[in-house]
Amino acid sequence: MTLAKKLFVKTYGCQMNVYDSARMADVLTPLGYAPADGPEDADMVILNTCHIREKAAEKVFSELGRLKRLQAAKAAQGSRMILAVAGCVAQAEGEEILRRAPFVDIVLGPQTYHRLPEMVAQAARAGGAVLDTEFPPEPKFDFLPDARAEGSSAFLSVQEGCDKFCTFCVVPYTRGAEYSRPAAAVLAEATRLAEQGVCELTLLGQNVNGWHGGEGWGLGRLIRAIARIDGIERIRYTTSHPRDMQDDLIAAHAELPELMPFLHLPVQSGSDRILSAMNRGHDREAYIRLAQRLKAAQPDLALSSDFIVGFPGETDADFADSLALVREVGFVQTYSFKYSPRPGTPAAAMERQVPEPVKEARLAELQTLLLEQTNVFNRSCIGREMRVLLDRTGRHAGQVLGRSPYMQPVHVKAAAHLIGQVVPIRITALHPNSLEGVPV
Ligand code: SAH
Ligand code: SF4
Ligand code: F3S
């Protein structure tokens, strides 16, 4: 018999980390770990970290400072709190974490989560820290349990790693080479999620549209197969790279009502000079053509993007090209970031780094434009009929909340028994952070 213990996982960064955190909790369940409400009542805490920008990475060290005090307070009461650091900071700065925070028990990279039970056993037995930031030859997916459903929408990792080496980015170093899970494994996991009541799947990967399954299997074909699974009504995928957008995947947008007409397709910059310095592998024109082809295949399609401002050498004219591209493509949603130099990446060593105040001003200008466009899009939804996945009760009696195909939160006066269903809704009003609608 195992003794009941409690685990708290804190997740930073992207959706792949959200998926991974749930899998880490799953591999620890057989060891007797149940979810804790917070670090205070946990016997083990895992920080699943993100290294993408300096701020993200520094957060980990301040959180570790707080956890150190908690760990010491517990030790004074005679109980032990195992502290683990996982994710991309662990991969990039494993030794440095143990040097700066010697009270950490386990440091593990994103490709070794399946070995976590062994590491916990080792940490519980011995003093001294366990460090595992290998890129093992065996894919962790072969040893991790399938995702479990929590509600009607679920993430499913199908691809991991990146071979693109954009000059600003740490991901190829922290996640390793591109790896595609076999189609059969993905379809089996999707089927089990559907059997547990999931009707919306979001396929995840650092370059999800780079997924390939051999013998003519690309992401388009995988999505067609998933769409045939009983109970799956909506499919999304993220994050895509413009260079990997195959014809077959574009065709899937035209064919499949299950494939949501909302695509996150980061472009990063609208300037050809900067795109080339970033090693993105395509120019502005190629991106615009791609956006046109996608919208031709699916006229309801809306695009979202990521932008970086203040990449080394970015001039006012380059930045103006980014603003112009935002207008020309008509992005309805965008995440924008100030360039953050990352140790070991080529861009960090480039000349003509952009001063912080310039980055700040550009970010503010870009975000103002993007917000305007998001608002215009949201207003254009009033009067439209949309299929909304109702997924939880609202704050007010008789109110149910859901997500539109475009991920907009929608609140509806409807009966709670509709939760878990995709329901046609007429959008009637726009609120600051949501849409309102009525069942059709
Ligand atoms: N694989 C995805 C994105 C991964 S990182 C892609 O290729 O688009 C998520 C976003 O973080 C990126 O799209 C980029 O906009 C931003 N980002 C990555 N490195 C950054 C850096 N050094 N500074 C600022 N933003 C960065
Ligand atoms: Fe990073 Fe570029 Fe790979 Fe995206 S494609 S993860 S931005 S290196
Ligand atoms: Fe961050 Fe790693 Fe994801 S650096 S964005 S957690 S791949």
Substitution site in 50, 51, 163, 169 for ligand 1 pocket (most atoms within 8 Å of beta carbon)? 169
Mean pLDDT over 69-97 rounds to 94
Half-sphere exposure of 261 (CA within 13 A, CB side): 17
The pLDDT score that the predictor gives to residue 3 is: 62
Q: Find the mean pLDDT for residues 322-334.
A: 96
What ligand has the least distance to the C-alpha of 14? 3
Residue type (1 letter), 102:
P
pLDDT at 137: 83
All domains in the chain, ordered by first residue: 5-132 (3.40.50.12160), 140-379 (3.80.30.20), 385-439 (2.40.50.140)
If you average pLDDT over residues 195-211, what whole number do you get? 96
CA distance 53 to 59: 10
What is the reported pLDDT for 1? 45
pLDDT of residue 311: 98
Q: What is the pLDDT of residue 2?
A: 53
pLDDT at 127: 72
* pLDDT score, position 4: 83
Measured distance CA(88)–CA(75) in Å, rounded:
29
User: What are the phi and psi torsion angles at 19 (to 5°)?
Assistant: -60, -45
| CA 231 – CA 200 distance, rounded (Å) | 9
> Region 394-407: what's the mean pLDDT?
92
Q: Which of 171, 209, 274, 306 to mutate to test the pocket of ligand 2 (most atoms within 8 A of CB)?
A: 171
- Residue 260 has what pLDDT? 98
Dihedral sign, Cα of residue 388, residue 389, residue 395, residue 398? positive
HSE-CB of 242 using CA atoms within 13 angstroms? 26
Ligand 1 binding pocket includes 241 (Cβ within 6 Å): yes
- 239: cis peptide before it, omega within 30°? yes
Pairwise CA distance, residues 423 & 425, whole Å: 6
Per residue in 96-146, pLDDT (tens digit) is 999 999 999 999 999 999 999 999 999 888 777 889 998 888 888 888 888
Give the nearest ligand 1 atom to 168 CA. Answer: 22
Name residue, tokens 């030859």: 137
- H/E element holding 211? none
* Nearest atom (ligand 1) to Cα of 169: 19
Q: Specify burial of residue 23 (Cβ count, 10 A radius: 0-12, 13-18, 19+).
A: buried
